[in-house]
Amino acid sequence: MSEEFELDTDDLTRRMDGAMSNLRTEFASLRTGRASASMLEPVQVEAYGQMTPINQVGTVNVPEPRMVTINVWDKSMVGKVEKAIRESGLGINPQLNGTIIMLPIPELNEERRRDLTKVAGQYAEHARVAIRNVRRDGMDQIKKMKANGMSEDDQKLWETEVQELTDKYIKAVDAALETKQAEIMQV
């Protein structure tokens, strides 16, 4: 490969890593019937005039497999945290015990499990699309370098490298999806 035509594969890798990281975050927010502190990450509370993540107004713990507790630091915030959880769409009914909010995680029924696997599939497809968009950007860069005098051999080498990188990340998305779907369907 000629030195004057270098494709920044580190940038492509970093962007594909970003798509995988985003997928892992979305998967963590899916409820699987097991308690997880990460399921509360998308929930925001109106605290002191601005929207704040729950983990910044209290301590989130998972004392047992089907229970999440939030020890709210400021007593005046307990009602707001409870309201934010109720309105979050998580399908969890908070129970108050002083400044501690307990979130019992109900068993998932079969229909809800199937719905969650479909949602996980949609998240995975979004990640695949993001990875393919990065590949397309890489291929466009290669075409520009070809127009500026890159040899056809170099072009093929770079295209192969970008495609192999893409295939590796698509395979990782598929593996993550399979794992998450198995976790969701586990009773």
The strands making up 100-104's β-sheet, listed across from edge to edge, are: 58-64, 67-72, 100-104, 95-97
Instruction: Tell whether 181 and 152 lie within a shared domain.
Output: yes
pLDDT digits (tens, 9 = 90+) for 88-137: 767 778 888 888 999 888 777 888 788 888 888 999 999 999 999 999 99
In this predicted structure, the answer to whether residue 11 has a pLDDT above a threshold of 50 is yes
Which string of DSSP letters, residue by residue, matches 31-48? Answer: --SS--GGGGTT-EEEET
Domain edge (last residue) among 55, 88, 104? 104
Instruction: Tell whether 38 and 98 lie within a shared domain.
Output: yes
pLDDT digits (tens, 9 = 90+) for 31-40: 666 777 777 8
Q: Looking at per-residue confidence, does 15 or 31 come out higher?
A: 15
Which pLDDT value is given to residue 17? Answer: 94
Distance separating alpha carbons of residues 94 and 72, to the nearest angstrom: 13
Instruction: Write the Ramachandran bin of 33: left for phi over 0, alpha for psi from -120 to 50, otherwise beta.
Output: left
CATH number for position 38: 3.30.1360.40
pLDDT digits (tens, 9 = 90+) for 135-147: 999 999 999 998 8
Tell me the Cα Rg of the chain: 22
Is 0.75 topped by the overall pTM?
Answer: no
Domain holding 57, by residue range, is: 34-104
The mean per-residue pLDDT over the stretch 38-45 comes to 82
Which pLDDT value is given to residue 1? Answer: 44
